[in-house]
């Protein structure tokens, strides 16, 4: 029997961080789970909020690590070990400084690109051939400003662009779940460029 497809969104737990740019991965999961009407539940042993549901005819699990961004690997490792999920059945969504708001990119494999959450996942896992959904949040223009930038709320126009892109990414998951990665990439990337 096929393993469920695992969606992991990266972010920081707690109300203080809920609307910050660094939580774009959580925003994606909120939109995705909103299609099913299911609710996240804290699973302490996995250090994550988890929901199991069906999306586009496929059994799926959605997980939000509760370990804070820089320690995301602890929860991810606990989840994949417990449910025995291979990298080929996993997508990790996270904020991307190198893409502007309104742009998202879907790709298979690659490096961590300096993203602290992804870097920690690499530290705790061996199989890095998973899908990544990089959600553009833009760059403050100065390396010294990155931390306060990602831990603050985007302006109204930026937030609308990010949310609109996340909605497009959620729509593209139908193709991902049906094994049509190239179609999902075309759908997401082309639309983002045309807007």
Q: pTM for the whole thing?
A: 0.94
115 assigned to active site: no
Find the helix or strand (DSSP H, E) in which 165 lies.
helix 156-177
* Domain count of the fold of the chain: 1
- CATH number of 27's domain: 3.40.50.1470
What torsion do the CA atoms of 66, 62, 160, 176 make, to the nearest 10 degrees? 140
The three-state secondary structure class of 157 is helix
The DSSP call for residue 38 is -
CA distance 188 to 193: 9
Per the structure, the complete domain to which residue 163 belongs is given by 5-194
| pLDDT tens sequence for the chain (195 residues) | 678 999 999 999 999 999 999 999 999 999 999 877 789 999 999 999 999 999 999 999 999 999 999 999 999 999 999 999 999 999 999 999 999 999 999 999 888 888 899 999 999 998 888 999 999 999 999 999 999 999 999 999 999 999 999 999 999 999 999 999 999 999 999 854 444
């Amino acid at each position: 029997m096929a393993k469920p497809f695992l969606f992991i969104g990266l972010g920081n737990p707690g109300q203080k961080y809920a609307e910050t740019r660094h939580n774009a991965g959580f925003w994606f999961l909120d939109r995705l789970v909103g299609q099913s009407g299911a609710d996240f539940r804290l699973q302490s042993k996995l250090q994550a909020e988890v929901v199991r549901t069906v999306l586009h005819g496929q059994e799926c699990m959605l997980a939000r690590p509760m370990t804070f961004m820089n320690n995301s690997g602890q929860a991810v490792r606990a989840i994949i070990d417990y449910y025995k999920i291979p990298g080929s059945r996993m997508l990790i969504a996270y904020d991307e400084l190198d893409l502007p708001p309104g742009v998202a990119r879907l790709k298979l494999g690659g490096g961590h690109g300096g993203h602290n959450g992804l870097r920690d996942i690499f530290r705790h896992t061996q199989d890095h051939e998973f899908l990544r959904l990089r959600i553009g949040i833009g760059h403050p223009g100065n390396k010294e400003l990155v931390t306060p930038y990602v831990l603050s709320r985007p302006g109204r126009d930026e937030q609308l662009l990010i949310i609109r892109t996340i909605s497009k990414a959620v729509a593209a998951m139908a193709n991902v779940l049906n094994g049509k990665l190239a179609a999902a990439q075309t759908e997401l990337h082309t639309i983002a460029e045309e807007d």
